[in-house]
């Protein structure tokens, strides 16, 4: 029997800002080779964070899916390659890899988890049945309206 692949999916919001969140992250990535991405609010949980860190240790990186808020064109979806993750980002990493708008909006104060990303690629819209929640086996397409992060 093959192991079930689990992926962390994070919904990011643009509701309280006029900035293009992903464009600004991609700009830092192009300029510096890496970018910090903050998961706002609660962390993803110690066990899931440890699992992600183990994947990074074993394979050099792990994949997460970043999903934007609803728009007239649907939800933008990106696949990111994560090379580091933790509940706290070291100050030198923040100075070097954090998008400038994070300071303006005090994102660093609200972050529950940080990801060091070395690749962000746009991907097709999520399809029904593509990701199921690890607990209830509910469909991610519907869970996104109620959840900011999940393990699928």
pLDDT at residue 132, as a whole number? 66
Task: Give the length of the chain.
Answer: 152
Asked if residue 114 lies in contact with residue 37, where contact means CB atoms within 8 angstroms, the answer is yes
Helix (H, G, I), strand (E, B) or coil at 31: helix
Summarised one tens digit per residue, pLDDT across range 87-126 is 888 999 999 999 998 888 888 888 889 999 999 999 887 7
Summarised one tens digit per residue, pLDDT across range 121-142 is 998 877 777 766 666 666 666 6
Q: Give the CA angle between residues 44, 45, 50 to the nearest 5°.
A: 100
Asked if residue 146 lies in contact with residue 114, where contact means CB atoms within 8 angstroms, the answer is no
Asked if residue 21 lies in contact with residue 14, where contact means CB atoms within 8 angstroms, the answer is yes
Asked if residue 99 lies in contact with residue 17, where contact means CB atoms within 8 angstroms, the answer is no
pLDDT at residue 5, as a whole number? 54
Beta strands 77-86; 8-11: pairing state: unpaired
Summarised one tens digit per residue, pLDDT across range 45-100 is 888 889 899 999 999 999 998 988 777 777 788 999 999 999 888 999 999 999 99
DSSP designation for 89: -
Please give the model's pTM, rounded to 2 decimal places.
0.83
Among residues 121, 148, 151, the alpha carbon closest in space to that of 50 is found at 151
Neighbours of 141 (CB within 10 A): 16
């Amino acid at each position: 029997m093959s192991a079930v692949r689990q992926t962390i999916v994070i919904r990011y919001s643009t509701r309280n800002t006029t900035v293009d969140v992903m464009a600004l992250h991609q700009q830092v990535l192009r300029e510096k080779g890496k970018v910090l991405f903050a998961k706002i609010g609660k962390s993803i949980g110690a066990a899931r964070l440890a699992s992600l860190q183990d994947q990074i240790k074993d394979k050099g990186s792990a994949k997460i899916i970043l999903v934007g808020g609803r728009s007239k064109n649907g939800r933008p979806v990106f696949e990111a390659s994560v090379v580091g993750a933790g509940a706290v980002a070291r100050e030198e990493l923040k100075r070097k890899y954090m998008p400038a708008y994070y300071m303006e909006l005090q994102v660093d104060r609200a972050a529950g988890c940080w990801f060091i990303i070395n690749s962000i690629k746009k991907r097709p819209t999520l399809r029904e049945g593509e990701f199921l929640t690890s607990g209830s086996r509910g469909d991610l397409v519907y869970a996104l309206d109620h959840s900011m992060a999940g393990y699928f």
